Every structure is written in C-alpha cells, then in structure tokens.
Structure 1
Amino acid sequence: MRPYTITGKKDTRSGFGDAMTLLGETDPRVVALCADLTGSLKLNTFAKENPDRFFQAGIAEANMISVGAGLALGGKVPFVTTFAAFATGRVYDQIRQSVAYSCTNVKIAASHAGITLGEDGATHQIMEDIGLMKMLPNMVVINPCDYNQTKAATLAAAAYQGPVYLRFGRPTEPIYTPADEPFEIGRAVRWSEGKDVTILATGHLMWRAIQATEQLEREGIGVDLLNIHTIKPLDTEAILASVRKTGCVVTCEEHMINGGLGDSVSQLLTQNQPVPQEYVAVNDHFGESGTPEELLVKFHLDTPDVIAAVRRVMARKK
C-alpha cells in the first residue's frame, strides 16, 4: 500500500472553493458564476475578493450556462457552479449545444453529487450525472477523491483548454492525498500493487477502497488499487495493464451502475481484455433522505461492500 497520512477531514467542495480563491489571485481570466448557492459552493471568498469577476445568476441555471459560454468566447475561463443535480440534468440541452458541441472553454463545477448529499433526499441526489456528461463529445469528466485532490483538479481544469465537468461533494471526508501531488487529467494514480484483484475507485469511494485494500492485504490478498479520478478520458493503458496481471476487477463509485466508471471499464474490457467484473454502485434506484453514512450502507457502497465484491469476483475468476 502506498504510504499516506490523514491530515484532517474536509469536504471536497472546500477544495474547490480554496482553489478558486487561489485562481482569483493568480489568473485574471478566471470568472465564477453561481446559481444562488455561493456559500454551498464555497465561493464567498472569491466573490468578496473579485466582485467584478463573480456573477450571481440566481435560480436560472440554463441562463448561467449560456452566459458562461459567452464569457468563454470572450476569452474568460468561466466556472459555472451549482449542485450536480441542477448542473447536469436541469440544463443538459444548454450544455450539449453551447458548451460541448461548441467546444467552449467552460468548466462546470458540480457540488453535492451522489448519495452522500444526504438528508436533502432523492430529488437532489443525482447519480446519473457522470453518464450524462461522459456521453458528450469534447467533455472531460473529473471526480476527485478528497480535499487536496479536488483543489489540484480545479487548478488543472482551469489550465485545460476545453469543456470540463468537475464533480465533488458535500460531506467531510479524510484528507489523505499529498497537498503537493500534481494532478494529471486522464492519468490514474496507483495506490497498491497486487496480483490477485484489481480495484478501480473514484470519488468518495476511493477512501472505502483504501480501507478494503488494507483489510484484504492483511488476509494475504494482493490488490492492485487505482484511483480513477478522471472518468473521461479514461486511463485505458493503466487499467488494461492491471487487469492483464490480476484477471479480475471491481469498480467502485458513488453513481448509478449504468453510465458511470464501471460502465466505461466494462466497455474497455469487452473490446480488449474480457475478465470477470463486479460493481460497487447504486443499482437502478433513486436515493432517499438519510445521513451519508446510513445511505452508503443502505445502497451497498461501504467498505464491507467493496470487500464482498472482491470475494465474488475472485470466486468467479477461479
């Protein structure tokens, strides 16, 4: 297992907000737009320090996307921000036409993604957003795992020329990636080396995958664990090299089983290296109100579920 140190607990959205504060100081092209959720997106400091570069769009997400596209065409680097449920499903037509099809340099920063939004319930817990975004030509899809990686991913998105969907969440999570680790779009990060099973994890489920890997390694099971922070473009080289070594794979994501990381990996393996695969994901079900911890357990996204999936896929391999 790669050595790591837990340096605290923060929500990944705070990593986005702190990166935006830094970009406000270092990149005059960066502007931010928000759909009446400035505090939730951690943009208060950016707005205060850059009042001429912050635009409150109100509860008018479709208009916000269009304004962002216009700003991009004018040479700015706009981050359009709201909850993931509103940043994707509510404004898909505007994203498709004005951002993806036109290939404008718009960054869609989506907070409160997945089931761990918690008590706000099913209407706000979008688990289809990765699928919606990855199907769009020209769109990069990033789902970082902790505060530090979200901050680094935001800086990388600002430097990237083209549309980006950046997904992050509400709950506090352990901070375990190095603060100075470079973020490379489309390049997986290896966390452990093993020959028995591949685990591919993204977003909040990366921490559960790390915990599962530690337990499995204590049992003598060699885990090849990769942090797939970029869903599109997928690091196909790293994934194929891993599954050719292990012969089986478990994908872990806080997303619907259809359309997410597991779906992308399945397509890759079908065409190149068919092996047994198990999915830790939400299985065709809307969410419900509850604490993040309760919902991870209820929808089978917790550490024991990763371990159970590993045992199933290894039995299939045998």
Structure 2
Amino acid sequence: MDPLSNVLSLLNVESALPLRFEAGGSWAMTFDGYPHVKCGAVLAGSCWIAVGDLAPVLVEAGDCYLINGGVPYRMFSDPLVEPVHASVVFRETVDAVLRWGGDEVVIVGGPITLDMANARLLLDVLPPFVHAPAESDQAEVLQAALRLLARENAAPGLGSEFMTDRVAQIIFIQILRAHARAASGEGRAPGGWLSALMDPQIGAALRLMHQDNGRRWTVAELAAEVGMSRSSFADRFRAAVGSAPLDYLLRWRMHSAGQDLRATGRTISAVAAAWGYGSESAFSNAFKRVMGVSPRAYRAGRGAARAAR
C-alpha cells in the first residue's frame, strides 16, 4: 500500500451528501471554519474564495478546491457586497439545493470528515486552501468525476447518495494528487510527506517505510536503499518532509498502532510485537511520547481527543 493510501485508511474518510449551490447577481457569504476539510467543484460560472487572511482566489467552471480544517472563509462575486453569514443562506436550502439570487454560478461541495485522532497526519501537510484548476494534471479524471457528480446531483436516481459519496471521495483524492504534484514542481520546502512523495528518492524511502513499517529501519539502511549517502539523505528528507526520517517513521507507526488498539482485540503486547517492539514497556514509552497518553488509556477512549489536539 502506498503512503497516501496508508494514511487515508487511518482517517476513515467520509463525505456528507454534497450541496448544490446556485447564485447570481452580486453576492457574498462568510463561513465558519470547519474542523475537517471541505471540497468543492465549480460546475458553471465563477466566483472568488478568500480563506483566512489569504488573498482571494478566482475559481471557475471545471475547477476544484479544498479548504483545510478550522479556517473561516468567504465566497463572493463582488468584494464590495456586505457578506451574509452562511447559516442565514442555508435556511433556504430545499432538497440539498440552495438558490441565492440566480444560477450564474453553480458549485457542488460539502464536508469531508476524518478520524480526528489521526487527522493531523494529513491536515498538517496541507495549506489552508488548495486550488485544482481545470487545466491541472488531474483534469481528465476530475472532469469525468464532475460530470458524474453534476448528473447525480441534478437528477438523483437509485443509489445516488452512495454514489455521490464515493465520487466526492474520488474528487478529494484527485485534489490531493494535484496539490502534491504542484507543490513538488514549485520546489516548496518543507512541503510535508504529501509533496515529498513526488521526489524520486525521498518518495521511494517513504514507500519503504510504509510498506515495511514494522521493521526497525535505520537512516543508513534507508539511505542505502535509495542510493544516497546517509548525511545527504537525512538532510534532504528533513528539507522535504519537515522532520527527521526516524521521527516521521515513529509518528506514523504509533498512529497505526493506535488504530490497532482501537479496532482490534489484540493485547498491547501483541500490538507492540507487530510494530517491532520487543517489550511492552518500550512500546508504551514510544506510544505515549507521540500520542500523549499510554496505550491502555488510548484504547479506553481517553486518547482520541488528546491525540487530535
């Protein structure tokens, strides 16, 4: 399993039923920050999105976007219009369709919910706003997904709720891919593990970590596997990912071990052994250092909120 699939498998990604938003004329809305992420796709027209203190970005037909958790944002056609809070506008929603003054702009979007105990694995490497233009590398797949989403949203049929949920998740992953490719192409550092996956050698090292994550890797072993010297690999990994190789590996392994503790009935000793620890005490110390609580407390449910914070 590749690193992105690994992380998504821990996040229990779910999407709410997308809302179709139609607007016309001069309008502006404000939204509170959402703790997970929101994805949107512009089916017709264009408007501006301003997330937090960032400069507004024009989104047009065929574009997709992602808004990272917790940051308030604005959507508008005219920056001079006094914005209305979204809660007021949403009162006009009928059958998952919101009409506000016309249909010059049509957007389909909604929240993507993540398992908050592990959400930081993804949210920490995403900027507040991700824009996937219609001409991006993922355009072909995104356009096909958009056409399907638009058809299901405009004329729901049998199984539409299940289908739109899956299509929304496909769009979410395609936006992540578009961001990873764009970030690596612009040479952003540190871009987090998501953009580092596009680096031939650092990406290969990340895949090794995720494919054989119970192994007690050393920096020298990872460097040798990808054809680099130990020092060059360590420096380049830190620059690309934002943390040292073994720090990244430890964080990933403890989050994965936490999933085992919550989802299986295996003993703590068995989980420790599965993740390469010869003793329960050594595993417990490492787990508490990363997750903030002991494995026993995490399994009892007291660790999810702590880990999310």
State the TM-score, normalized to the length of structure 1: 0.27
Greater helix share, structure number? 2
Larger Rg: 2
